[in-house]
Structure 1
Amino acid sequence: MSKVKPIIPPNFIENLFKQTRFTKKEIVGLCKLFKKLVAIYGAESTSSVAAMSSVVLITIPTQGFDRLMFREFLQNELGITTEEILTDRIFCFFDQRNDGVIHEDEWITGLSVLLRGTQDERIKYTFTIYDLNNDGFITKEEIFSLLRNCLVKHPQDEDPDEGVRELVDIVLRKMDCDNDAKLSFEDFSTSVNKQSLLLEAFGQCLPSREISESFLNSISSVQ
């Protein structure tokens, strides 16, 4: 007996169509892809945990991506190979319900920003990712935390973090428009609009244009 394919409620598609920049056909494809990817990465995550434990695991089917699964998705499907501090922030951006799981509608809504977002939407997104404590500013300490793994440190260096602090000072001189030693959203937005390369100044949190186009093109072929 063949399996009955799940029916996607029309109002679910309609709501996502209004909230995102995807077509209705793309949303249907994304719904199908979501279920496939959750099954794939969920199985891999369970196998990985089981391999590290002698306890017999009883698995419960997940309703979405947990942190580990989502990190694998970002790396394998979107080419976002970044520090854990940033993948956790991206997870929180997608997890709008704040329940530790990225559900289908959250996944599609988040992808709309990453893959089809306007310049303003992408600036707001990256600022949110870099604002580690959600206080509305990217502080000097946060920039240091984000950049400290970007530079190669030599064992013979007396202060291996000195180069990072110098880089932080350079960044602040360039982007801190009101000279208050931290970046407001206005500082960040103004700087990025003047020089687009500053959009991901503190670490990768967006897929490349080529990967975005490839991912979008693959949606139509999902069965």
Structure 2
Amino acid sequence: MERGQPSKEECENIRKHFARHDSDGDGVISTSEFNVMLKRMGVLLSASDEKRLFDAMDQDKSGRIEINEFFAHYHTILALEKRAEEKQVENLRQKTSFSTEEIKAMYANFKRIACTGKDDGLIDMKEFRQMMVDSDAHRNVVFYDALFRMFDRDNSGDIDFSEFVSALAVYHGKTAGAHSPDVRAKFFFGIYDGDNDGYISKEDLRTVLTNCLAANEVQCGANDIMKLVDNTFAGISGASNGKMDFAAFKAAKNN
């Protein structure tokens, strides 16, 4: 089939792709939406090249890309996305000890999760929670939210594919490089550091323990949980004033 005659399925995919990047739903893609679209696809262009591409797609020079113009240049968009994907896969392969095949499989899974809600090519909190519920019914929202923060490294409120793979690499001990044990320890430290202040307080630990026990239907009174927290802190060298920093956490983890 010629490029000028997309199939019914291809037409539907193009419309979905267009709608995904028409964030305000006004039926056109503005220059700012176009910029966001390229970034989400991992396509990194200079400002001049980005403008040149936008101008080429904006055939009627209206300053906006309409659906028919998007259709006409869809194969160019796909080619750029594929090239960006291949480059990203290679970069992630070098940064982690995942294989190319594993990263490609993760990309397929990422795309499936990212379209369960907003279908914007990113995983938001709601989509992340649903992913966790589907894979692990024994946890709860508090744990999921803490884990989400560890995935969302730039604190944007969404997880992109690079963040997704990087966090999984840390979680599974697949981080490349000599310092991967430290990276992994910091990852788990962040899960306990509920208020993200750089310390695990007794309240942070109490919250995690309370929710983990409740999620696993283990009956334990508040006083007993607090005794466990106090005993834990008492046994950690470097924990003082009801707080422990990363160095104390790492030392306790290694003992």
Which stretch shifts more, 170-179 or 121-130? 170-179
2:125 is the alignment partner of 1:11: no
Cα distance in 1 for residues equivalent to 2:159 and 2:111? 12
3-state DSSP of counterpart to 1:90: helix
**Partner residue, 1:67:** 125
**Partner residue, 1:166:** 227
**Partner residue, 1:96:** 153
**Partner residue, 2:203:** 141
CA deviation after TM superposition for structure 1 residue 8, in Å:
5.0
Q: In the superposition, relative to structure 1, how do residues 121 and 168 fare at CA in structure 2: closer, same or farther (>3 Å)?
A: same
Question: What percentage of residue pairs aligned between the two structures are identical?
Answer: 26
**Partner residue, 1:25:** 101
Q: How does 1:149-160 map to 2 (within 5 A)?
A: 149=211, 150=213, 152-153=219-220, 160=221
Aligned length, in residue pairs? 169
**Partner residue, 2:37:** none
Normalising by structure 2, what TM-score?
Answer: 0.58
2:185 corresponds, among 113, 116, 123, to 123
Cα distance in 2 for residues equivalent to 1:30 and 1:8? 17
Cα distance in 2 for residues equivalent to 1:29 and 1:178? 42
Matched residue type, 2:155: N
3-state DSSP of counterpart to 2:120: coil
CA deviation after TM superposition for structure 1 residue 20, in Å:
2.4
Matched residue type, 2:112: K
**Partner residue, 2:24:** none
Cα distance in 1 for residues equivalent to 2:106 and 2:222? 43
Cα distance in 1 for residues equivalent to 2:123 and 2:233? 36
Cα distance in 1 for residues equivalent to 2:137 and 2:236? 24
Please list the CA deviations of residues 5-34 of structure 1 after superposition, one character each: whole Å capped at 9, or x if unmatched. 872523222222233222223222221221
**Partner residue, 2:29:** none
3-state DSSP of counterpart to 1:169: helix
Matched residue type, 1:124: K
Matched residue type, 1:123: A
Identify unmatched segments of 5+ residues in structure 2.
Answer: 1-6, 11-74
Ranked by relative contact order (alpha carbons within 8 Å, sequence separation 6 or more), the top structure is: 1
Please list the CA deviations of residues 141-200 of structure 1 after superposition, one character each: whole Å capped at 9, or x if unmatched. 2112222232525xxxxxx42112111111111224454432121111111111xxxxxx
Determine which structure has more spread, i.e. the larger CA radius of gyration: 2
Cα distance in 2 for residues equivalent to 1:29 and 1:138? 35
CA deviation after TM superposition for structure 1 residue 105, in Å:
1.6
